[in-house]
Structure 1
Amino acid sequence: MDAIGAITEILSWVGIGAAVLFGGAALIARLADGTWVPIRGVVIGDPAPDAPRRQVVRWFGDDGVHEAPLTAELRAAARGDEVELFHRVGTRDDVRLHQHSPWPRLLGGVALACGAVGAIALAVQIVAMVTG
């Protein structure tokens, strides 16, 4: 019985501590990611005469026209000469295909798993104290 008590004590402290740590990291990652708004970009060729022929994505924002280089990922998502993107508010050329980063969700999931391990270990520890 002493071994169960020691193991559950360690698991409860480590699980709950890790849950707090990963939960805080998830919150920080979510706040650092910023706000992303949906936009419709247009794929066009770069008109600069001295630049090598390349394609870019352009869109209208609140503060004028924005431009980002056309990557293979963006080209694959394009329908004809238009592509549905998300633009980071406050930047000139940050675009991506998804509104939310996967990192906060991953860190939040790890925090929930660690918290569940800690809570189960705490429950087992309490049951062991009451019955033993």
Structure 2
Amino acid sequence: MSAGGALGAITEILSWVGIGAAVLFGVAALIVRLADGAWQPVRGVVIDDVVRWFGDDGVHEAPLTPELRAAATRDELDLFHRIGTRDVVRLHRHSPWPRLLGGVALACGTVGVIAVIVQIAAMILAD
């Protein structure tokens, strides 16, 4: 097998794997983002080992985790409450997982596109 044939085979494999993985990770990022649900900003009050806040349907309560305790300034805390639940809160509106999966999808897609460009350039230069 010549060097041009080997380069063609390698870039062909990288392009299919890269673009396929990009689609797979992109779909996974979308699914994770949709499954994360909607989060509403609330102002929580720390009382003993719990945090309480007013939601649209009354008073809600969640256990005070070490992460929430560290973020609390005095007795109050800015939180995000998952709509439709009574005791699920976190410090950030969005989960970091969709961004991570989207970044991996972007990296894989970039590898696939660069492999296609190298393959096209090699075909043009071979003539």
Task: Give SS of 2:74's match.
Answer: coil
How far has the Cα of 1:130 moved from its partner? 1.4
Residue 44 of structure 1, CA deviation? 1.2
Asked if 1:105 corresponds to 2:99, the answer is yes
Q: How many residues align?
A: 123
| One-letter amino acid matched to 1:16 | I
1-side partners of 2:67 and 2:10: how far apart? Answer: 48
Offset of residue 24 of structure 1: 0.3
- For residues 89 and 4 of structure 1, the distance between their equivalents in structure 2, rounded to whole angstroms, comes to 53
The residue type paired with residue 64 of structure 2 is: L
| Amino acid paired to 2:24 | L
Match of 1:61 in 2: 55
- Identity over aligned pairs, percent: 79
CA RMSD in angstroms comes to 0.7
> In the alignment, what sits opposite 2:73?
79
Q: Distance in 2 between matches of 1:10 and 1:72?
A: 47
1:7 paired residue number: 10
Deviations 1:2-56 (A, max 9, x none): 01100000000000000000000000000000111111000113xxxxxxxxx21
Deviation at 1:69, TM superposition (A): 0.6
Helix, strand or coil at the partner of 2:114: helix
Q: Which runs of 4+ in 1 moved over 4 A?
A: none
Is 1:35 matched up with 2:38? Answer: yes
- Rounded Cα–Cα distance in structure 2 between residues aligned with 1:44 and 1:8: 60
Give structure 2 stretches of 5+ with no counterpart.
Answer: none
Q: Which runs of 5+ in 1 are unaligned?
A: 46-54
> What is the letter of the counterpart of residue 41 of structure 2?
P
Within 1, Cα distance between the matches of 2:6 and 2:58?
66
Q: TM-score w.r.t. structure 1 length? A: 0.91
